[in-house]
Chains A and B, each alone.
Chain A
Amino acid sequence: MAEIAEEGGGGGHGKGKKRGKKHSARIDMTPMVDLAFLLLTFFVLTSTFSKPKTMEINYPAKPEPNENVKPPEVKNGLTLILTKDNRIFYYKGEFILPNDPKGRPATQLEETDFSTNGLHKILTELNKSAIDEINQLSEKAKKKEIADSTFKRLVMEAKGKKEALTVLIKTDDQATYKNFIDVVDELNLAMVGKYVTVDMMPQEYELLKQKTGQ
């Protein structure tokens, strides 16, 4: 049975006569409270509330060795090259070697950064047509002019259009995972639906070396 605190409760009564002790109704709850708070602290500290968030991403299948897959023609393309020290380089369109037979200027890498005025600006400018279209669609969806499922499908279509930006992400072996996630996050924010991670070409390595070696 629980111990009941009754200090001096029964003392001081007359000799001889034994009375039934009056039990005080109060129980000393201090140990119980101590325990309760101990448990409370324990659970507060050990429990995790938020489940981790994730980012869905698709990777391209590896081409079969005997299969000769031609790279798809890209109209509005951007290649991002990630390297050490959180640096990021890019070039637009396809890669052109020096001494191009058609006389086009050779590709030059330009540098940008992860700030709002860097990568974010470039992406939103290049992907303007898709962003505008999606904004219009979401306006319509807000006014309930189109159904939710239609909205989702139309957004997908807008992202997949030819005019929409296509991004190739290339990393050298010095880039960190954080850089990569930042880029993908930025792409998601800029409504870029077509992006893929591919290996760097040797010519690009050369250009990158020149840039970073300086």
Chain B
Amino acid sequence: MPKVSLKKPSPSLDMTPMVDLAFLLVTFFMLTASFREAEPVVIDPPGSHSDKLLPENYILVNIDALGRPFFGISNNQAKEKTLGRMLQKYNIQLTEKQKKEFMKLSVFGVDIKQLPQYLEMSDAERQKFKTAGIPNDSLNPQLKEWILYAAQEANAVYLEAKEKAKEKKQDFKMEKPRYAIKADQKTKYIAVKKVIDTFTDIKIYRFNLITSYEGGSKKE
């Protein structure tokens, strides 16, 4: 009798559709992703009902739960120029590599004298680095200087871009620089007030306070 051999179903599936889908999703996420920027400290902003979006062009001061201020500029051109002016003022030299490293930071919170040392560190070392935030008192008003220079440079960049667009008769889309403040829920209001006073000292009165939309913490 001839043996009847059952057809063994092959163990491999046709994976093509799955792969197609996977790559489609990968492409989608790659193109839409804006990376979460590494922050020196985690800040959990309070919730609110406001649904206004953060403007594209901003100068940011973060205040962590301990009240330490951190500083950042969204526009790279303005950031570079601001750094240049601050270095000149405090007579500090940075290597090209360190400058590049600085441009990668979204926000930072160190005394400018520690900046070269800070920029040489790896990410892990920076996490451990003990800092008191950017000095912000009348004897050492570094935060005020950063804000002042950044505001001037960001406005200059904005006006320059506007002029250029006008010359070429292109649509001008860039937004005016805004001033954003992001503070933790647990931050003492007095620490925020100190930063706001720094702004009002240089005649900036309008702020965007960053909140998370309806974070469940509202209305306990």
Asked if chains A and B come from one complex, the reply is yes
B199 proximity list for chain A (CB < 8 A): 59
Which one of B23, B189, B210 lies within 8 Å of A179 (CB-CB)? B189
Q: How far is the CB of A131 from chain B (nearest CB, A)?
A: 16
Considering the complex, which residues of chain B in the window 40-61 have a beta carbon less than 8 Å from any beta carbon of chain A? Answer: 45-55
A116 proximity list for chain B (CB < 8 A): 219
Considering the complex, which residues of chain A in the window 121-138 have a beta carbon less than 8 Å from any beta carbon of chain B? Answer: none
CB pair B200–A47 under 8 Å, yes or no, is no
CB pair B188–A52 under 8 Å, yes or no, is no
CB closest chain-B residue, reference A49 = B32
CB pair A53–B212 under 8 Å, yes or no, is yes
Task: Decide if the interface of chain B is mainly helix, strand, loop or mixed.
Answer: mixed
A55 contacts B by Cβ under 8 Å: yes
CB pair B207–A59 under 8 Å, yes or no, is yes
A173 proximity list for chain B (CB < 8 A): 188-190
Once the chains are docked, how many angstroms separate the CA of A135 from the CA of B34? 39
B188 proximity list for chain A (CB < 8 A): 173-177
B66 contacts A by Cβ under 8 Å: no
Counting contact residues on chain B (CB < 8 A from A), the size range is 35 or more
CB pair B200–A53 under 8 Å, yes or no, is no
CB pair A53–B51 under 8 Å, yes or no, is yes
Q: How far is the CB of A87 from chain B (nearest CB, A)?
A: 13
Considering the complex, which residues of chain A in the window 157-196 have a beta carbon less than 8 Å from any beta carbon of chain B? Answer: 171, 173-182, 184-185, 188-189
A56 contacts B by Cβ under 8 Å: yes
In the complex with contacts A46-B36, A61-B200, A189-B49, A36-B23 CB distance below 8 A: yes
Considering the complex, which residues of chain B in the window 198-220 have a beta carbon less than 8 Å from any beta carbon of chain A? Answer: 199-201, 203, 205-213, 217-220
